[in-house]
Structure 1
């Protein structure tokens, strides 16, 4: 279980560093999010997956991104509250980051290298999703329009090993 994925680190909106090693043995759903995106209702579906499967080993990580038509205007300070109030989000949100370009967050550099998409490795829009298995290996990439409930079967499959 010592994949390169577990060498990566992320930060919470308040700046606290989290090592991906904290999620060893868990199935992880990583999503680039945006509160003002037309796909923002997916927050509710992501939260439902979080509530349903967190005790079975699922971790949902939301990475807010403002690279697509500035659809994440919230600051790190206000974003968590906005997601809680507007969408009921309790899953882990992280600090705002870039998912494309020269300042791409290392998590997205890694995921895009392992799982390219229709547009090469570039992320096309908010709510692109990556599923990482219990051993830290990316297993599937989902387009922004794929709703969280549509990937529940694959999550269950990964949770059941």
Structure 2
């Protein structure tokens, strides 16, 4: 909960804002071949579980073949086709020297993965109500 994130409007805040919620964190890329199905599935999850505390935080990322728009407004427009309830964050790197601290933390604390790095778009992490990685 101590990690600071920045939304697409450049507002920064700590993840503690979501204490008591279930938080799904996803690196997204609107032009990826998986995008339409992934967004549709995430939208379905929100419809089903939002009232029970699910929040889906989208982190646009261009690290995998530049498959995300360079313009955050285009990303927002694309995401809104599926749901206006997504928490759209600012563009980030999810691996490497410039990786966002949230993704560094998530990858470092994975259990059961063969590797601790993100390999492609739409890698998804689930953070429980207690702030622990599920």
Pair in the same fold by TM > 0.5: yes
Residue ranges of structure 1 left out of the alignment (5+ in a row): 1-5, 140-161
Aligned residue number for residue 61 of structure 2: 65
Q: Runs ≥4 in structure 1, deviation > 4 angstroms?
A: none
Task: Report the secondary structure of 2:35's partner residue.
Answer: coil
TM-score normalized by the length of structure 2: 0.92
Pick closer, same or farther for the CA change 1:132–1:18 going to 2, 3 Å.
same
Which structure dedicates a bigger proportion of its chain to helix?
1
Between 51-60 and 73-82, report the one with greater CA deviation: 73-82
Match of 1:30 among 22, 25, 28: 25
- Partner of 2:26: helix, strand, or coil? strand
Give the aligned partner of residue 7 of structure 1: 2
CA-CA distance at 1:77 after TM superposition: 2.7
1:17 equivalent to 2:8? Answer no
Residue equivalent to 1:154: none
- Rounded to whole Å, the distance in 2 between the matches of 1:83 and 1:57 is 20
| Distance in 1 (alpha carbons) for counterparts of 2:39 and 2:84 | 7
Asked if the contact 2:79–2:86 (Cα under 8 Å) also holds between the matched residues in 1, the reply is no
Residue 90 of structure 1, CA deviation = 2.8
SS of the equivalent of 2:13 reads strand
Mark the runs of 5 or more structure 2 residues left unpaired by the alignment: none
Distance in 2 of aligned mates of 1:71 and 1:18: 27
The residue aligned with 1:82 is 78
Aligned residues: 132
RMSD of aligned Cα (Å): 1.3
TM, length-normalised to structure 1:
0.77
CA distance in 2, matches of 1:58, 1:52: 9
Q: 1:29 to 1:115 in 2, by over 3 A?
A: same
Please report how far the alpha carbon of residue 89 of structure 1 lies from its aligned counterpart in structure 2 after TM superposition. Answer: 4.8
CA distance in 2, matches of 1:122, 1:107: 13
Of 22, 31, 49 in structure 1, the residue corresponding to residue 45 of structure 2 is 49
- 1:101 and 2:96 matched: yes
